[in-house]
């Protein structure tokens, strides 16, 4: 649909930007912090790009005031960050580590003082190692209680100060990469275990959302889903069906549970046939259906184009974590779909397809299927950036990427979607889990690289000023 004029962004639209504790904080052993599964995993040789880890990251733990001053100057309305569970409960539960909590109290107060809305992610993948050792983390139902207790501690600590909460960040990613592809902790390749873990994570998510509502917390809570909308490669019905399969197994399999408390039928049949379906115990369905997120968070980076894949077809292939264009391998789920190249879109150096229209499609599909407000919790471009001799970063490629995506949001709003806000990934440059520091996303360049010996100085990129003017005019001239 082409609109003659586009609807303006609402006046209270949350122009934001995001980060995650492990990727920015550093200070991995300070003030009583416990060890997380990522602290452990990065030490296994060959797991991360050039052996990078978040021990120091971009030292946000000590430089948060400087980072917030930059946000203030830019006019940022919201900052999404995650809390490291291991700072609050070093071994996952028990006594609160007051020094760890104090860090986030200072951070939140500093944001509020600067008129920036704090958005807290409860879980962005850094599970306490102690819980992994004690009961295999997400593989045990004990985590439902422990995660809920941890969340409740934070709800009470930040009641009235934090009004936007994200329960789980990209459950689809941490379960698949952790238990299917073995590229995230705990490094397992077992679909049966992956779907079991995922079901428990769904229960934990529902339990935390219910707790938030039971406590009558002022504000809103929802999960953040990494949504990659699926297309067919062409109108061959076999390929259309492949795209439907992918949408069911890779998207509805999470979003339907969040929004309706129900697994999609065809995907579940497929899992049953493979012997991979999770065990659903008495009371599980009731719990899932009772939890009602106030919004659906989506992290949007790209779309996927699909073709028919027979039962003896391609399975999981290697991801591109080197930044060498074209180095990712074919991937698919035999009997369901395989991913193929979309000839109509460009790709980044990490082979991520650049598709702003896909964001509009994502927002429309979610709006029609679930009729829910949406918070865009991540969107951005990971690229090589160059610091010039006069300390500038001319990232017009990032400005183009972001401007096209902001336009797509405006179009989706004009189509009738309710979008609460837009968080770019990321605010400062930060450690990419598997890609080191060469894949950059920030508005603010940080002098840090794979040697991990950078000066940590911050420099504003051209995109910093671009976003500043977008915020100032509330996206009017987009």
Instruction: Just list the catalytic residues.
Output: 170, 378
Cα angle 306-201-295, degrees, rounded to a multiple of 5:
75
- Nearest to ligand BGP of 57, 413 (CB atom): 57
Parallel/antiparallel/unpaired status of strands 14-18 and 78-82: parallel
Position closest to ligand BGP via CB: 432
**Which of the ranges 100-108, 209-217, 288-296, 428-436 carries the binding residues for ligand BGP, by CB under 6 A?**
428-436
CB 394 within 8 Å of CB 462 = yes
Q: Contact between 433 and ligand BGP (CB under 6 A)?
A: yes
Q: Contact between 169 and ligand BGP (CB under 6 A)?
A: yes
- Nearest to ligand BGP of 59, 411 (CB atom): 59
Q: Contact between 383 and ligand BGP (CB under 6 A)?
A: no
Cis peptide before 251 (omega within 30 of 0): no
Q: Contact between 20 and ligand BGP (CB under 6 A)?
A: yes
Cα angle 174-347-49, degrees, rounded to a multiple of 5:
45
Q: Who's near 126: CB < 8 A, 6+ residues apart?
A: 21, 22, 36, 37, 38, 39, 82, 84, 85, 86
- Shortest Cβ 213–ligand BGP spacing (Å): 25
- Shortest Cβ 476–ligand BGP spacing (Å): 29
Residue entry with tokens 């490094």: 187
Among 299, 303, 306, 379, binds ligand BGP (CB under 6 A): 299
- Nearest to ligand BGP of 284, 383 (CB atom): 383
Host H or E run for residue 117: strand 117-123
- Shortest Cβ 437–ligand BGP spacing (Å): 10
- Nearest to ligand BGP of 23, 230 (CB atom): 23
- Nearest to ligand BGP of 54, 332 (CB atom): 54
Among 33, 439, 458, 461, binds ligand BGP (CB under 6 A): 439
- Output the six-digit token pair for 357: 């229209």
- Shortest Cβ 299–ligand BGP spacing (Å): 6
d(CA 464, CA 395): 10
Cis peptide before 186 (omega within 30 of 0): yes
Residue entry with tokens 């995922």: 198
**Which of the ranges 154-162, 178-186, 386-394, 427-435 carries the binding residues for ligand BGP, by CB under 6 A?**
427-435
DSSP 3-state of 19 = coil
Dihedrals phi, psi of 247, to nearest 5 degrees: -65, -40
CB 201 within 8 Å of CB 144 = no
**Which of the ranges 159-167, 258-266, 383-391, 429-437 carries the binding residues for ligand BGP, by CB under 6 A?**
429-437
DSSP codes, 250-264? IIIHHHHHHHHS---
Q: Who's near 272: CB < 8 A, 6+ residues apart?
A: none
**How many CA atoms lie within 13 Å of 116's alpha carbon, on the beta-carbon side?**
30
Binding mask 240-279 vs ligand BGP (x if CB under 6 A, - otherwise)?
----------------------------------------
Q: Contact between 382 and ligand BGP (CB under 6 A)?
A: yes
Binding mask 56-85 vs ligand BGP (x if CB under 6 A, - otherwise)?
------------------------------
Site for ligand BGP in 187-226 (CB under 6 A): 226
Q: Which residues bind ligand BGP (CB under 6 A)?
A: 20, 23, 169-170, 173, 226, 299, 378, 382, 425, 432-435, 439
């Amino acid at each position: 649909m082409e609109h003659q004029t586009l609807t303006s962004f609402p006046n209270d639209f949350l122009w934001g930007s995001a980060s995650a504790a492990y990727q920015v904080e550093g200070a991995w052993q300070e003030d009583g912090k416990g060890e997380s599964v990522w602290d452990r995993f990065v030490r296994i040789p060959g797991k991360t790009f050039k052996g990078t880890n978040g021990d120091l990251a971009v030292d946000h733990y000590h430089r948060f005031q400087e980072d917030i001053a930059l946000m203030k100057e830019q006019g940022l309305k919201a900052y999404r960050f995650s809390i490291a569970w291991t700072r609050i409960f070093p071994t996952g539960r028990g006594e609160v580590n007051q020094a760890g909590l104090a860090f986030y109290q200072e951070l939140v107060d500093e944001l509020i003082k600067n008129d920036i809305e704090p958005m807290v992610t409860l879980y962005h993948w850094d599970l306490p190692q102690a819980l992994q050792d004690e009961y295999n983390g997400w593989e045990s139902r004990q985590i439902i209680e422990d995660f809920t207790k941890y969340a409740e501690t934070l709800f009470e600590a930040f009641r009235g100060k934090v009004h936007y909460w994200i329960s789980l960040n990209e459950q689809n990613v941490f379960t698949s990469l952790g238990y299917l592809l073995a590229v995230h902790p705990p490094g397992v390749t077992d679909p049966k275990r992956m779907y079991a873990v995922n079901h428990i994570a769904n229960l934990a998510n529902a339990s935390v959302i219910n707790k938030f509502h039971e406590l009558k917390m002022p504000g809103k809570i929802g999960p953040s889903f990494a949504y990659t909308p699926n297309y067919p490669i062409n109108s061959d019905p076999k390929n259309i069906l492949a795209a439907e399969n992918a949408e069911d197994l890779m998207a509805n399999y999470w979003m339907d549970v969040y929004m309706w408390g129900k697994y999609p039928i065809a995907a579940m049949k497929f899992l049953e046939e493979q012997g991979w379906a999770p065990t659903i115990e008495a009371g599980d369905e009731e719990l899932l259906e009772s939890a009602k997120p106030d919004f659906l968070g989506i992290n949007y980076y790209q779309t996927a184009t699909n073709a028919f894949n027979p039962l003896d077809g391609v399975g999981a292939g290697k991801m591109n974590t080197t930044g060498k264009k074209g180095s990712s391998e074919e991937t698919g789920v035999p009997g369901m779909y395989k991913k193929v190249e979309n000839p109509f879109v460009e790709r980044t150096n990490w082979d991520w397809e650049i598709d702003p229209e896909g964001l509009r499609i994502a927002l429309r599909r979610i709006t029609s299927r679930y009729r829910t407000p949406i918070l865009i919790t991540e969107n951005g471009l990971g690229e090589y950036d160059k610091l010039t001799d006069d300390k500038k970063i001319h990232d017009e490629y990032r400005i183009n990427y972001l401007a096209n995506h902001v336009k797509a949001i405006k179009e989706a709003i004009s189509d009738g979607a309710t979008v609460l806000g837009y968080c770019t990934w990321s605010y400062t440059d930060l450690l990419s889990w598997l890609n080191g520091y060469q894949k950059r996303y920030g508005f603010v360049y940080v002098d840090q690289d794979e040697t991990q010996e950078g000066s940590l100085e911050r420099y504003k990129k051209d995109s910093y000023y671009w976003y500043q003017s977008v915020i100032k005019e509330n996206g009017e001239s987009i």
